[in-house]
Amino acid sequence: MSVESLQAHSVEAAWTQYDGVDAGPTGLNAFLSVDREGSLAASVSIAAEPHTRNGHAAELAGVPVAVKDNLATLVLPTTCGSRLLEGYVSPYEATAVRKLRDAGAIVIGKTNMDEFAMGSSTENSAFGPTKNPVDRSRVPGGSSGGSAAAVAAGVVRLALGSETGGSVRQPAAFCGIVGVKPTYGRVSRFGLVAYASSLDHVGVFAQNVVDAALGLEIIAGHDPYDATCSSRPVPALRQAAVMADSKLPLAGLVVGRPVEYFTDALDPRIRAHCDASLERLRALGADVRDVSLPHTSLAIPVYYVLAAAEASSNLARYDGVRYGRRGNADGLREMYERTRSGGFGAEVTRRILLGTYVLSAGYYDAYYRRAQTVRALITRDFERVFAEGVQVLFTPTAPTPAFRIGAVSDPYDMYLSDIYTVTANLAGIPAMSQPIGRVDGLPVGGQFMAARFDEATMFKAAAALEDALAREADA
Ligand code: GLN
């Protein structure tokens, strides 16, 4: 991956790249809307009058960025990849977007996604799938597939995505880039369209670990507009990702290898890359140990009960009265029905029905309450290994490499793409994916997870592994 700095990229260069890769029937379809004129004008004015923050040159002055289409922006529409919100423009801006712009970044466009962030391939977008820049016959992963493709194709070097169960890490793995989901509460969710509020996070994509750390450092921190956003100070995350000049940069770091993430569901070629990465970590001084997270196998059913339950409640607001498109009808009830059945796609409808079912009287205890109980057990598994001295966990990000567009048609098979990622959302811990090798030319992602609010240790380990893998490739 590129070693050039994030700050060396310009808005003009972004458009040259965009014109070459995104448009037309063979293009990536990574963007749903773009602001060419506005972004070029902003870059001219920033160049003429250098952007500063607190008297210092702003870290991202003039840097082009892309934003997933479920984060509210003032200029471009925010559609969530849905017909229901086609053309909808928000009256306010997401905090994460505002913080990037305050640092001098310029939003060039909104990126394609699975409708309302439900999916693992970006095929559930109402506006057509995004293609994987590494192999255009394949999916880029999802739901933040447009942002991942935009970074992997070099249109931008920093993009925002969102995660409820893996929607940043899994597309990062499929496209061969870095994707980070912070601790729940580290980044404000204000202006992120709600899917499942107890699991939703804003995350970042970049071409390397240090750029991702810088992006996260900029968007993190307390926000009075999000009651779940933590007031803990944000540590120097970029600094954590800068390699110490040492032969054993990870000396003494305790890395856990959760045995439940290395089962038969895992493609053996991906397992081989993970084993090789664990060997590298040992060679860098880490103490690698097997650990057990015994409730891991329950994570997928628990996630799909809780996410659907929360989604059925959050998506009730799309009634044709307040947002987006309205279905024409004489009566109110008929108007609701036309709006919702005409506006939502198949997967969103399935989740709303599933969520309504698990919350209904008579089933609530059997499904929703039970899933909440098991969620607590999954969280406790992580708390226990971190309390026992493990500092980071290392696992595969996804069980397979990017699959072909159209190849996974059974929704349950699609849900299994998330087996290694949903756990971190359920527990609220930070996690990230980075490229660790290739299988048949397709990128493979390795995942680090850390204790709540310990992104710094995660970045330190990731940067050391990235450096070791790059040196090996050069040798
Ligand atoms: N694939 C998962 C889902 O469909 C996760 C999506 C996400 O993280 N937004 O719910």
- pLDDT tens digit string along 124-170? 999 999 999 999 999 999 999 999 999 999 999 999 999 999 999 99
Cβ of 163 closer than 6 Å to ligand 1, yes or no, is yes
Degrees (nearest 5) of the Cα angle 164, 165, 171?
Answer: 100
C-alpha distances in Å from residue 6, one per residue of 14, 199, 245, 303, 347: 12, 29, 22, 35, 36
Lowest mean pLDDT among 16-20, 48-52, 356-360: 48-52
d(CA 165, CA 415): 10
d(CA 321, CA 336): 8
Contacts of 330 (CB under 8 A, 6+ apart): none
pLDDT at 277 over 80: yes
pLDDT recorded at residue 217: 97
d(CA 233, CA 236): 10
pLDDT at 123 over 50: yes
pLDDT at 3 over 50: no
d(CA 121, CA 402): 9
End-to-end CA distance of the chain: 16
Q: Which atom of ligand 1 is nearest the CA belonging to 119?
A: 4
68 flagged as catalytic: yes
pLDDT at 53 over 80: no
Cβ of 112 closer than 6 Å to ligand 1, yes or no, is no
Which tokens in the block code for residue 63? 């840097």
Please choose, from the candidates 45, 161, 65, the residue with its C-alpha nearest in 3D space to the C-alpha of residue 108.
Answer: 65
Is the pLDDT higher at 263 or at 348?
A: 348
pLDDT recorded at residue 2: 41
Cβ of 147 closer than 6 Å to ligand 1, yes or no, is no
d(CA 304, CA 281): 33
143 flagged as catalytic: yes
d(CA 239, CA 28): 34
Is the pLDDT higher at 282 or at 3?
A: 282
> Coil, strand or helix: which one is 227?
coil
Cβ of 118 closer than 6 Å to ligand 1, yes or no, is yes
pLDDT recorded at residue 261: 98
pLDDT at 1 over 70: no
Q: Of the residues 167, 184, 201, 350, which should be mutated to test ligand 1's pocket, given the most ligand atoms within 8 Å of the CB?
A: 167
Cβ of 418 closer than 6 Å to ligand 1, yes or no, is yes
pLDDT at 288 over 80: yes
> What percent of the chain is helix, strand and coil (3-state, nearest 5)?
40, 15, 45
Q: pLDDT above 90 covers what percent of the chain? A: 91
Cβ of 166 closer than 6 Å to ligand 1, yes or no, is yes
Report the 10 Å Cβ neighbour count for 4.
Answer: 13
Q: How does pLDDT run across 21-49, given as a tens digit for each residue?
A: 998 888 999 999 999 999 999 999 998 88
Tell me which residue has its CA closest to atom 5 in ligand 1.
165
Confidence at 51, pLDDT banded by 50, 70, 90:
confident
Task: Domain 3-240: give its CATH superfamily.
Answer: Amidase signature (AS) domain (3.90.1300.10)
Q: How does pLDDT run across 289-315, given as a tens digit for each residue?
A: 999 999 999 999 999 999 999 999 999
Torsion angle in degrees (nearest 10) through CA of 304, 306, 309, 314: -110
Cβ of 124 closer than 6 Å to ligand 1, yes or no, is no
Tell me which residue has its CA closest to atom 10 in ligand 1.
118
Which tokens in the block code for residue 252? 């003494």
pLDDT recorded at residue 4: 66
**From the CA of 341, how far away is ligand 1's center (Å)?**
21
d(CA 113, CA 452): 27
Query: Which residue of the set 33, 43, 167, 277 is catalytic?
Result: 167
Average pLDDT over residues 73-98: 97
Average pLDDT over residues 438-463: 98
Q: Of the residues 68, 112, 120, which should be mutated to test ligand 1's pocket, given the most ligand atoms within 8 Å of the CB?
A: 120
**From the CA of 221, how far away is ligand 1's center (Å)?**
24
Confidence at 218, pLDDT banded by 50, 70, 90:
very high
Torsion angle in degrees (nearest 10) through CA of 451, 452, 455, 461: 10
Q: Which atom of ligand 1 is nearest the CA belonging to 347?
A: 4
Q: How does pLDDT run across 203-217, given as a tens digit for each residue?
A: 999 999 999 999 999
**From the CA of 3, how far away is ligand 1's center (Å)?**
30
Mean pLDDT of the chain: 95
Please choose, from the candidates 222, 269, 209, the residue with its C-alpha nearest in 3D space to the C-alpha of residue 460.
Answer: 209
Q: Which atom of ligand 1 is nearest the CA belonging to 163?
A: 8
Outline which parts of the chain fall under CATH 3.90.1300.10. Answer: 3-240
pLDDT at 246 over 90: no
Cβ of 391 closer than 6 Å to ligand 1, yes or no, is no
> Coil, strand or helix: which one is 31?
strand
d(CA 83, CA 344): 7
Cβ of 398 closer than 6 Å to ligand 1, yes or no, is no
- DSSP secondary structure code for residue 367 in this structure: I
